[in-house]
Amino acid sequence: MRRAPIALAALSLLVGYSDPAGGGEAVVLRHADGQANLGGYTKGKNIRVGEGGLSHKNGQKESRGKANKKPKQAPGFFTLIVLPDTQGYADTRHKETQKHWPGIGDQRSCFFKQTQWIKKNKGTLNIAMAVHVGDITQTEHDEEWKIADAAFKTLDNHVPYILCSGNHDMGYSPEHRKTSYSRASRFGAFFPPSRFTKNPLYGPHFGKNKSRHFREEGKIENYYLFLEAGGMKFLILTLEFKPRDQSLAWANKVVAEHPECRTIIVTHSYLTRNKGQLSGADHYPVQGNSGRSTWQKFVSQHKNIFLVLSGHALENRLTSQGEHGNTVHQVQADYWYFDIPKIKAGSGFLRIMTFHPAKNTIQVETFSPVLGEFLVRPKSKFSLDYDMSGKRK
């Protein structure tokens, strides 16, 4: 099999940039013009990724990972690709967003390169599914959904994917220039359930009654797919932004009905920007559950839930113990604010989660098909322990 250089790199053990401050330390991210970007990120150092490799602002150049030989892989490995917030790539209103989110420019090619890379590397990385963690669009205009539609058309007949609705994918108020004023969205118009139920590629991912997979008719804010990979059965369930109680009740029922499935939950806003912290109160107008109450009412209640994937608020992770003593890894990635001078709005970074059943580990890497670069600081590259030895864990 012919192997693409990028795919080889993705499988490699990398040397290079390390974060001397340790995983989870805050990083100051800046625009190219030097203007400080984020509240909440107030200490640390700048990280720049560009020509010449990963480097600190102080000029200490670090080597970057470039594989030149085929690494050994345990048999039976497979990969999930996580697409963090793509809102900046689908943003077409440049003049308006220049005021509100300065310096973005036209980044739609990042979106297209991501899905093209997934398609190209499906075989090499044994990609079982792609998972979008929400904020697919910026203000959910038709023009933005069309970009997302075009990006995912690349995968439609090749790699199954599951989508998640973020705060930017609903209820945008032009007057306030804010999102989530309501749950109104054109999400289902561009990605109706039929896009998946009528696609033969998704045959193995639905049960006998396909409509049961979607909480609301014609909508995909809350739905689930099955996945068989590495000799195991998985259920991947995606929840709306700030899930309402009735959505959590539905999710509780679905997960309880499938004790045989190892279960992954996808929900957009779940952890904060602070290390290992679930989200609590927020300023979004729609009513619903925070990360903390989603954990309490739903995630912690099921022994077969082992992984929660989210976006919305930079990199973060938390490992907790559920009510049944099970370990639940909660992993978040959002590079929307990860400013890199020449490419903005996320710079194309995505997550490669490689499941190694023989090693009982999930290897997490962060890679940009746009830059051809990995982030290899501890909060971007790490492994999670997960027991895959039994049939029902």
Q: Which stretch binds Zn ion (CB under 5 A): 10-18, 41-49, 133-141, 287-295?
A: 133-141
Give the nearer residue to Zn ion in terms of CB position, either 154 or 165. Answer: 165
Q: At what angle do helices 142-156 and 108-120 cross, to 10 degrees?
A: 10
Q: Shortest approach of Zn ion to residue 222 CB, angstroms?
A: 17
**Residue among 134 and 348 whose Cβ is closer to Zn ion:** 134
Does residue 84 interact with Zn ion by CB under 5 A?
Answer: no
Residue 69 DSSP one-character state: S
How far, in whole angstroms, is CA 148 from its chain's centroid? 15
Pick the stretch among 36-44, 129-137, 156-164, 291-299 that binds Zn ion (CB under 5 A). Answer: 129-137
Give the closest residue to 333 by CA, choosing from 309, 353, 354.
309
Which residues of 220-341 form beta strands (DSSP E)? Answer: 223-229, 232-239, 262-267, 305-310, 316-321, 327-332
Token couple for 298: 């739903």
| Residue 161 token pair | 């994917």
Q: Which is nearer to Zn ion, 166 or 346 (CB)?
A: 166
Residues whose CB is less than 8 angstroms from the CB of residue 233 and which lie 6 or more positions away in sequence, other chains included:
226, 227, 260, 261, 262
Residues numbered 272 to 331 that lie near Zn ion (CB under 5 A) are 312
Q: Which is nearer to Zn ion, 65 or 166 (CB)?
A: 166
Of 219 and 312, nearer to Zn ion (C-beta) is: 312
**CB 388 to Zn ion: min, Å:** 31
Closest contact distance (angstroms) between CB of 134 and Zn ion is 6
Q: How far is the CB of 137 from Zn ion (least distance, A)?
A: 11
User: How many beta carbons lie within 10 A of that of residue 49, not counting itself?
Assistant: 22
166 binds Zn ion (CB under 5 A): yes
**Is residue 217 a contact partner of residue 199, using CB atoms and an 8 Å limit?**
no
Decide if residue 351 touches Zn ion (CB under 5 A).
Answer: no
Tell whether residue 171 is a contact of Zn ion (CB under 5 A).
Answer: no
Region label for 318, one of left (φ > 0), alpha (ψ between -120 and 50) or beta (otherwise)? beta
User: Which of 273, 270, 310 has its CA nearest to residue 289?
Assistant: 270
State how far the Cα of 184 lies from the Cα of 132, in Å rounded to an integer.
20
CB of 262 to Zn ion, least distance (A): 27
Using CB under 5 A as the binding criterion, the count of chain residues that bind Zn ion stands at 4
For Zn ion, give the closer residue by CB, 65 or 134: 134
Among 135, 144, 240, 365, binds Zn ion (CB under 5 A): 135
Nearer to Zn ion, 113 or 312 (CB): 312
The piece of 44-52, 128-136, 152-160, 343-351 that touches Zn ion (CB under 5 A) is 128-136
x/- mask, Zn ion, residues 88-117, rule CB under 5 A, reads ------------------------------
Contact mark string toward Zn ion, 62..81, x via CB under 5 A: --------------------
Q: Choose between 167 and 290: whose C-beta lies nearer to Zn ion.
A: 167
Measured CA to CA in angstroms, residue 275 lies from 229, 271, 278 at distances of: 31, 9, 9
Only segment of 40-48, 125-133, 161-169, 314-322 that touches Zn ion (CB under 5 A)? 161-169
List all residues 6 or more positions away from 322 whose beta carbon is below 8 Å from its beta carbon: 299, 300, 301, 302, 303, 305, 328
Q: Which stretch binds Zn ion (CB under 5 A): 162-170, 221-229, 338-346, 349-357?
A: 162-170
Min dist. Cβ of residue 269 to Zn ion (A): 6
Torsion over CA: 228, 263, 360, 69 (sign): positive
Q: Is the dihedral of CA 5, 6, 7, 8 positive or negative?
A: positive
Q: How far apart are CA 375 and CA 9, in angstroms?
A: 12
| CB of 127 or CB of 133, closer to Zn ion | 133
167 lies in the binding site for Zn ion (CB under 5 A): yes
* Residues contributing to the site for Zn ion (CB under 5 A): 135, 166-167, 312
